[in-house]
Amino acid sequence: MNAPQAAPAASSLQSGSEFSLLDLVNVLLRNRGLVLGLPCLAALVVSSVLLLLPRTYTASASFMPQSPEGGRSRLAGLAAQFGVSVPVADPGQTPAFYADLLTSREILRSIVETKYTFSAGGITRSGTLVELYNTKGKTPDRRREAALRALKGRISVNTETETSVVRFSVRARWPELAELMAQRLLDLVSEFNLKRRQSQAAAERKFVESRLAESRTELRAAQQRLQTFLERNRDFRNSPLLTFDRDRQAQDISTLQSVYTSLAESFENARIDEVRNTPVLTIIESPEQPVLPDSRELVIKGLLALTLAFLVGFAIAFSREVIQKSREESPEDFRRFQALRSQALQDLRRPWQGLGRVLRLHRGKGLAG
């Protein structure tokens, strides 16, 4: 009696078209060097790169914009007297507006072009961000553009809609530089707000000034009409009609006087706001020099690299087993696969040959048709 032959050790997959759980375990065990070695190598490489990269430091700050309610209420009330509706809410004072402002190109350009001087590790450093980070580029414009893109990725902004608080953070290579950059951002936003408020006050002053001149003219004309009426009708009290006309003109003068007084007050307030240089931001959290560096997140990134490398290793191992199974069960299909693979690799090395073959194929089809 012949002894039963042992199953071939080269193939761990069953002869059927479906794979069982045991087949997958055998694939892992047979290719354990690849499935386990590749993730360990990936985790080691990622950890080494993270450890070799320079540490970064993050400085944060928060503020709340102050809306110029007084100026807007005066303008809204003044416009309402002439039948013009002015919205009370100012879209330029919302947290979302300041979030966009902090990462706008104009603000970022000012941050990049500002010259910083600080002492780090006993060494005094001075220069713009392009100089401090030694940004690469063939021309100054390209180096500045590269610094702008890098800076935008180092600024993080969060907003609180309910409280209107804007929080932002700046990441830099040195803690002193991070604090200086965060303070510079606050100064630029405050400067923008100040110029914006002064510009609005100047526009309001011009509008009120022109309307004040018109109101003065109207008031003087009404007063002149009443004076002429009184000169012509010295005994108007004996006539009900003349008395009514006199009372009506006096009421018009009183109304015009109220409008003129309101305009004069608004004009003086606008003149004051135009030259006022008080801050319009409420600083909730001032920038401070960070004491500890940012976390490298070695564990999270290492586990991520480990997982991805394990999946890649398992895919390679499984592909090997499938190819081996096809080689044993369908030698003809495997030879065809080898030929196509060699041809594809050759086309990758010499793409013009593959293109010529495709053109010849289409030309042959055209002649046959």
CA distance 169 to 59: 6
Q: How far is CA 208 from the centre of its chain?
A: 38
Q: Which of 168-172, 263-267, 281-285, 356-360 has the lowest mean pLDDT?
A: 356-360
For 275-303, what is each residue's pLDDT tens digit? 665 656 788 888 998 888 888 878 888 88
Question: pLDDT tier at 156 (50, 70, 90 boundaries)?
Answer: very high
As to burial, measured by CB atoms within 10 angstroms (0-12 exposed, 13-18 middle, 19+ buried), residue 217 is exposed
Q: Which residue has the higher pLDDT, 199 or 309?
A: 309
Average pLDDT, the chain: 78
Lowest mean pLDDT, pick from 186-190, 312-316, 352-356: 352-356
CA separation for the pair 15, 18 (Å, rounded): 8
- pLDDT of 181 higher than 90: yes
Q: Which residue has the higher pLDDT, 342 or 80?
A: 342
The rounded Cα 264 to chain-centroid distance in angstroms is 44
Strands (E), 96-226: 116-120, 123-127, 155-160, 165-172
235/138 Cα distance (integer angstroms): 93
The pLDDT of 66-94, averaged and rounded, is: 53
pLDDT at residue 68, rounded to an integer = 52
Per-residue pLDDT reduced to its tens digit, 92-108: 568 888 888 888 898 99
pLDDT in the model for residue 263:
85
With cut-offs at 50, 70 and 90, classify the pLDDT of residue 170.
Answer: very high
C-alpha pair distances (Å), 44 with each of 50, 51, 91, 300, 312: 10, 10, 50, 13, 16
- Does the pTM surpass 0.75? The reply is no
| Ramachandran angles phi, psi of 49, nearest 5° | -65, -45
User: Given this model, what pLDDT does residue 179 score?
Assistant: 93
Beta strands in the chain (DSSP E): 57-65, 116-120, 123-127, 155-160, 165-172, 281-285
Helices (H) and strands (E) in the chain, counts: 12, 6
As a whole number of angstroms, the distance between CA 74 and CA 174 comes to 47
Q: 347 by DSSP, 3-state: which? A: helix
